[in-house]
Structures are given as structure tokens and as C-alpha cells.
């Protein structure tokens, strides 16, 4: 049984015929057999990502009370063309067909500076709320191998709990003549005599042993995750998992390490460890999760939704821009960041708006619109920011023998219609202001119009992770709207 490894770039169009032909010399098999296997693998990955995005949204609504929509396009096949979608990472699909056991699909980022986006999100938005990192960490739950990271976090919570609430030493009172301290008087045949008790203390050996066993399993399992991911050969995924693993290890409390260093195996230990059985079960299930191949999806994958990552990256750039003007983060609630400077306030909504802001859509559909980012300034001005993870500058199309990355100078019709819907629903004070952020922008960078007394202003903003972001320049795209950001 053979395996196929396919390397593609996100956001590209690939010929199924071309990909199969490229594998002929390497595999020395019939081209049509390869095409059939690739067709099955990409469709399996597509259905898996769709199912995962749906379950991810439902799970967040159950746990957090609100939903983040993972609307990042998965791969799809139309005729002989594979559209690779915008999920970056690695997927393993078991096919067991035409003499092939599995297909490994590696989807590489379209920008060489993808890691810069992940770092900015973690460094800028992460300290404000871990909710924003739910998207960057989303798909690790879909892979049995990488789900060990999530189980490690659960085990770590239990280690923290028992380290903080359990006594380090167990003390017992022992009665003995001629030693200890006077605790009471006792009537005896010889009269009244003192009762002396000594307090005998010893280390909490069951706790130390339980912590030691759990930490050993935790570290070994995380290292095994790293080793497995490294074999996948995708640098973005390696970097991504490595940062999570290092964060988990850094979160291990020093008290737990100290307790573990004192651990020893002793007679009757198994019975006394029953008190910490939930901790031991968590560490054992952690080890099992690495070896199992069971998954609810037809593909095992560690993939990151790039369009959502870019939206978060743009939001991080805006937060830094406001901080450079002296704005400070006052609070956070349900994907909204509140910032203030003197008498000026800014609210930044990610993928949502409050119900009272929607004048039409909420009344018709019972759901609010979900612009990528919405700025509300001093409760009066609104600016919709549409983040497009693509190049809007007209240029030569990148191409390989089987794939090409399209580019164009305009938004798609669906994007334009969505912006028009925001215009009708969210405009305030007879003005509608939109910024379209993209990797590159078209030459005609401003669209101005007027509709039924509403002034419309749409501008383009270039935010490229490969370029140093000047945060004041970022705000210069907002200043032409004459918004009072600085009093």
C-alpha cells in the first residue's frame, strides 16, 4: 500500500489532471487511479472542515453563550479544478483505494510571513481575552494527535487545583507519656493526671506521588505530540503547536514541581492514590489520545482558518494604532474591546454587533449582521472594516505546473453586496464609512457616493504581515472620515 503527499498553496486553483500528472514519475502508477484518489481525499477534507466549523460554532454557543462563525472556505472541486480554500496546515485522509492507503494534503500559506499574524494576535489580543485565541487554536480538537494538547490543559488545571487546596503535610496527634504538650487533664485511679499529646507531621506522600505521575505523563505526551507534528513537515503547524506546548509547560506551577521532586513509591500507595483518581485518569487519557486514530471526521487534520486569522490580525493592528494615540483598554465583553482616552471612547466589535445597532436585519432574520470588525466611536460614528485576505492589486498571476493563484483589482460581487447591506443596516448620522483591508490595494483607493441623503465613503487599507505596520499610518485611513479620535 502506498501513500501520496500533495503540496498546494491556499487560495489557489489546481488542475486535478496536473496534480495527478506530477505524481506519475514519483509513483509510477496509472494517472486515472491517482486522480480518483486525490478527488476522494480533497472531498473528504472539505466535508470534514465543514462539519468541524459547524460543531465548533455550536460548542462555543453552549460553553460561552455566543458563536464565532468559521466561514473560512474549505477546499472544493468543480469539474477538473480543485479550489484549495483558505485553511492552512496538514491533513491525513485514509482512502484504501487503488493500492493507496492514505493521502497527506499539505496546504501552505500564501504569505511567507504567516507566523507574524499568529504572533501579533497572541501578543496583542491574547492578553485582552483568551476568547480571540479560540480561533487560532480551533482545529487542534479535530486531530486525535493534537487534541492531547487540550487534554494536557485539563490535566494541568487539576494539578493546579490539588496543589493549591491540598495540605503539603499530614499531621496526626499521638498520645505519649512524658512528651508533647499538655492538652487536657484525665481522672485516673491515682488521681488527676495530665495528658500529653505530640503532633506528628509527615509529607503528604499520596499528593506528591500523584503530582509526579501526572507531570511525567504530561511532559512525555506533549513531547510526543511535537515529534509527531515535526514529521508532518509543515513549518507553520510546527511553529503553531510548539508555541502551544511551550505555553502549557510554562504554566506548570513551581509548587507542583517541588511536590513531584519529593515523590516516592511506598507500600499501600495505590490505595491512598484513590483520592486523586480524577487526576490520574486525566493523565492516562492524555497518553491514550496520542495513540488512537479514532476521529469523528473523515480526515485527521491540524489546520488554521486563514481568513479568520487575517481578520484578527487587522483588529490587532487597529488596537495597537489606538494605543499609540494613548487609548487604553478598559474592558472586554463577548468579542468587543472597550478603549478610552480622556473623553473619547472606541468600541471594537469582532464578527458581531449588538442587537440594538441593527435596524433591519435583526428584525427580519432574528440574527444580527456580522461585519469582520465594527468601530463605534463616541457612540456616534460607526466604521465597518472588511478584511480581505487577498491581493486587490492587479498583477501577474502566480502559477505552477498544476496550480495558479488568481488575483484581481476588485471585490467580488458577494463582498460588495454585503457592504451594501451593512450600509442600510448600520449607518449612523446620515453617513456610512467602510474600510476594506487587504494584503495589497487597488490604485483607485477611494469610493465616494451619496444615496438618499446618506454620504458613502469606502477606502482601502493595506495591511501586509510581511511589512512593518506603522500604526499611525493605519489610523490615517480613519482620519479622512473626520472622526474625532483625539480631542
Encode pLDDT of 290-341 as tens digits. 444 444 455 567 788 999 999 999 999 999 989 988 899 999 988 899 999 9
Mean of the pLDDT values across residues 18-22?
85
* pLDDT attached to residue 13: 92
338 φ/ψ angles, rounded to the nearest 5 degrees: -105, 125
CA 125 – CA 128 distance, rounded (Å): 5
Q: In the sheet where 373-377 sits, what is the strand order?
A: 328-333, 336-341, 344-350, 373-377, 381-391, 431-440, 454-462, 446-451
Q: Using alpha carbons, select from 343, 345, 315 the residue that is nearest to residue 330.
A: 345
What does the pLDDT look like over 436-465, one tens digit per residue? 888 888 776 677 777 677 777 788 888 999
Residue 177 pLDDT class (50, 70, 90 cuts):
very low
Place of cell 501578543: 123
In this prediction the pTM is 0.71
Mean of the pLDDT values across residues 236-258?
67
Q: Would the pLDDT of 251 be above 70?
A: no
Could you tell me the residue ranges of all domains in the chain?
A: 2-112, 144-167+204-294, 169-203, 305-481
Spatial neighbors of 277 by CB under 8 A, at least 6 apart, are none
CA 90 – CA 58 distance, rounded (Å): 24
Place of cell 510548539: 242
- Collapse the DSSP code of 311 into the 3-class scheme (helix H, G, I; strand E, B; otherwise coil) and give the result: helix
CA 206 – CA 272 distance, rounded (Å): 6
Out of 79-93, 181-195, 251-265, 412-426, pick the least confident: 181-195
Any idea what DSSP says for residue 335?
Answer: T
* pLDDT attached to residue 201: 77
Average pLDDT score, the chain = 76
Q: Using alpha carbons, select from 75, 86, 98 the residue that is nearest to residue 23.
A: 98
CA 254 – CA 290 distance, rounded (Å): 26
* pLDDT attached to residue 210: 81
Would you say how long the chain is, in residues?
487
Number of Cβ within 10 Å of residue 336's Cβ equals: 17
Out of 52-61, 66-75, 102-111, pick the least confident: 52-61
Residue 87 pLDDT class (50, 70, 90 cuts):
very high
Mean of the pLDDT values across residues 391-398?
64
Amino acid at each position: 500500500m502506498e501513500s501520496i503527499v500533495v503540496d498546494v498553496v491556499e487560495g489557489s486553483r489546481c488542475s486535478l489532471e496536473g496534480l495527478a500528472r506530477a505524481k506519475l514519475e514519483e509513483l509510477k502508477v496509472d494517472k486515472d487511479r491517482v486522480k480518483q484518489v486525490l478527488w476522494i481525499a480533497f472531498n473528504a477534507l472539505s466535508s470534514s472542515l465543514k462539519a468541524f466549523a459547524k460543531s465548533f460554532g455550536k460548542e462555543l454557543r453552549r460553553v460561552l453563550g455566543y458563536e464565532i462563525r468559521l466561514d473560512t472556505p474549505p477546499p472544493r472541486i468543480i469539474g477538473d479544478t480543485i479550489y484549495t480554500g483558505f485553511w492552512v496546515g496538514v491533513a491525513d485522509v485514509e482512502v484504501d483505494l487503488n493500492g493507496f492507503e492514505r493521502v497527506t494534503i499539505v496546504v501552505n500559506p500564501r504569505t511567507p510571513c504567516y507566523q507574524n499574524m499568529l504572533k501579533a494576535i497572541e501578543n496583542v489580543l491574547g492578553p485582552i481575552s483568551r476568547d480571540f485565541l479560540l480561533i487560532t487554536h480551533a482545529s487542534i480538537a479535530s486531530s486525535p494527535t493534537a487534541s492531547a494538547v487540550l487534554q494536557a490543559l485539563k490535566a494541568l488545571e487539576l494539578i493546579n487545583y490539588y496543589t493549591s487546596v491540598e495540605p503539603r503535610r499530614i499531621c496526626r496527634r499521638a498520645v505519649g507519656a512524658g512528651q508533647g504538650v499538655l492538652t487536657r487533664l484525665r481522672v485516673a485511679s491515682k488521681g488527676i493526671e495530665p495528658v500529653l499529646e505530640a503532633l506528628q507531621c509527615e509529607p503528604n506522600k499520596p499528593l506528591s506521588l500523584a503530582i509526579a505521575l501526572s507531570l511525567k505523563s504530561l511532559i512525555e505526551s506533549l513531547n510526543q505530540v511535537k515529534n509527531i507534528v515535526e514529521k508532518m513537515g509543515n513549518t507553520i503547524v510546527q511553529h503553531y503547536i510548539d508555541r502551544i506546548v511551550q505555553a502549557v509547560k510554562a504554566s506548570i506551577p513551581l509548587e507542583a514541581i517541588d511536590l513531584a521532586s519529593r515523590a516516592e513509591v511506598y507500600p499501600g500507595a495505590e490505595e491512598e492514590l484513590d483520592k486523586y483518581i480524577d487526576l490520574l485518569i486525566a493523565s492516562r487519557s492524555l497518553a491514550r489520545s496520542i495513540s488512537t486514530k479514532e476521529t469523528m471526521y473523515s480526515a485527521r487534520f491540524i489546520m488554521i482558518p486563514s481568513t479568520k486569522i487575517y481578520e484578527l490580525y487587522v483588529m490587532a493592528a487597529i488596537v495597537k494604532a489606538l494605543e499609540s494615540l494613548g487609548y487604553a483598554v478598559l474592558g472586554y465583553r463577548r468579542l468587543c474591546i472597550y478603549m478610552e482616552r480622556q473623553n473619547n471612547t472606541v468600541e471594537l466589535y469582532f464578527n458581531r454587533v449588538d442587537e440594538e445597532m441593527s435596524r433591519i436585519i435583526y428584525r427580519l432574520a432574528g440574527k444580527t449582521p456580522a461585519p469582520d470588525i465594527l468601530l463605534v466611536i463616541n457612540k456616534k460614528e460607526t466604521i465597518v472594516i472588511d478584511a480581505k485576505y487577498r491581493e486587490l492589486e492587479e498583477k501577474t498571476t502566480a502559477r505552477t505546473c498544476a496550480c495558479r493563484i488568481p488575483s484581481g483589482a476588485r471585490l467580488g460581487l458577494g463582498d460588495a453586496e454585503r457592504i451594501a447591506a451593512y450600509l442600510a443596516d448600520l449607518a449612523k448620522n446620515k453617513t456610512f464609512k467602510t474600510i476594506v483591508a487587504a494584503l495589497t490595494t487597488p490604485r483607485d483607493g477611494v469610493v465616494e457616493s451619496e444615496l438618499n441623503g446618506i454620504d458613502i465613503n469606502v477606502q482601502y487599507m493595506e495591511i501586509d504581515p510581511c511589512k512593518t505596520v506603522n500604526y499611525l499610518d493605519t489610523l490615517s485611513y480613519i482620519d479622512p472620515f473626520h472622526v474625532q479620535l483625539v480631542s
